[in-house]
Amino acid sequence: MTSDPTDPAGPADWPGSSLVRRDVDPRLLRGFVAVAQELHFTRAAGRLYVAQQALSRDVRRLERELGAELFVRTTRQVTLTADGERLLPYALRVLAAQDELVTAFGAFAGGARPLLVDLNSPGLSFGRVLDRARELAPDCELMARFESGLTGAAVEMAAGRIDASFGRFAGLDPALRARLAQQPVRYEPMAVLLPEGHPLTGLDAVPLAALAGETVYAGAGNPRTPEWTDLARSLFEGRGIEIAPPAPLAVGTEEFGRLMAKKRIPVLAVVGFPAMPGTELRPLVDPVPLSPVSLVWRKGLVHPGVTALRAAAAELSAAEGWLEKPADGWVPATDALIMMSQI
């Protein structure tokens, strides 16, 4: 008998399925999903802000309740069993439905809950969208967070820990994109952040050809921003520009500035990147590379703050011409297709 994939209780052919409780605690499913996606208990516990021992205990409890072993654990790795692989899509559906229910009723019962928006870094155009959204919805609390790139934020959105973010939607894993919605906001011209004294600081704008032979930092190794590194890789391909190897993860403008000043290598950025001591920002030209920016939120999220963010993004995009590509603008074809659509 084939199990119904819409039945939140899970497949009927699991070992011990006749004993499976139909009221499995969503917390246990959320812990299982985190471990299944990270394949590492310590990282999964950090992502959920719980102790590793507590997470392990929850996974064992879920295994007992389902009568199935979900993971193979060794001292070197964690892998999903066949039952674990089978459970994952069901767990994701249950959690998505729960998130939609809580969000919908939280938005209208007793006032909207605060909306948490990740802006990546202070001083970028995302902040202007948030400021305008706050004006459009003064009774909503829209909270800013400055922590991660879109990949890091997307994982947090899918887990229900943040609500919206900005960045390159095409750079996300398709499985993550399927759980999120997006609205194109801007083609942001890219720039290069140069250390003081670098020969290219004598130029008002840096042609891409002038970076040939340079090694440029583009976030390589940062697990939160692979979409940015991938964009740089596409831009540099065939131009003789190398991507700098991974550097220690620097959190905050001051620490990032200190690390880059020590390494003294150019950094791929955008024209609105905030000023940093010991560096000079120059726009890139010939062609003008563009960073495609979308507003991204969890699919199914119902909240007046999201409505305000979408309205603010559309208003500023139209007023500032943010979605108008320059004649010599460069953007990957996959990004151009996504930026012409709305998901």
Q: Six-digit token pair at 20?
A: 């499976």
Structural domains of the chain sorted by starting position, each given as residue range(s) with its CATH number in brackets: 17-107 (1.10.10.10), 111-187+290-339 (3.40.190.10), 189-289 (3.40.190.10)
User: CA 133, CA 129: separation in Å to the nearest integer?
Assistant: 6
User: CA 41, CA 228: separation in Å to the nearest integer?
Assistant: 27
Identify the CA nearest to 119 among candidates 151, 164, 158.
164
Is the pLDDT at 12 greater than 50, yes or no?
no
User: What is the predicted pLDDT for the residue at 44?
Assistant: 86
pLDDT band at 251 (very low <50, low <70, confident <90, very high): low
- The letter for the amino acid at 119 is L
Those residues whose C-beta lies under 8 Å from the C-beta of residue 247, and which sit 6 or more positions away, are 217, 220, 221, 259, 263
Structural contact between residues 275 and 281, judged by C-beta atoms closer than 8 angstroms: yes
User: What is the predicted pLDDT for the residue at 45?
Assistant: 83
Task: Say if strands 180-195 and 279-285 run parallel, antiparallel, or are unpaired.
Answer: antiparallel
More confident residue, 175 or 142: 142
* Digit-coded pLDDT (tens) for 86-133: 999 999 988 888 777 765 555 444 456 789 999 987 778 899 999 999
Identify the CA nearest to 78 among candidates 98, 109, 56, 48.
56
pLDDT band at 17 (very low <50, low <70, confident <90, very high): very low
Q: Describe the chain by its helix, strand, coil percentages, rounded to 5.
A: 45, 20, 40
More confident residue, 7 or 257: 257
Is the pLDDT at 43 greater than 90, yes or no?
no
pLDDT band at 249 (very low <50, low <70, confident <90, very high): low
* Digit-coded pLDDT (tens) for 183-229: 999 999 999 999 888 999 999 999 999 999 999 999 877 888 899 99
User: What is the predicted pLDDT for the residue at 19?
Assistant: 46
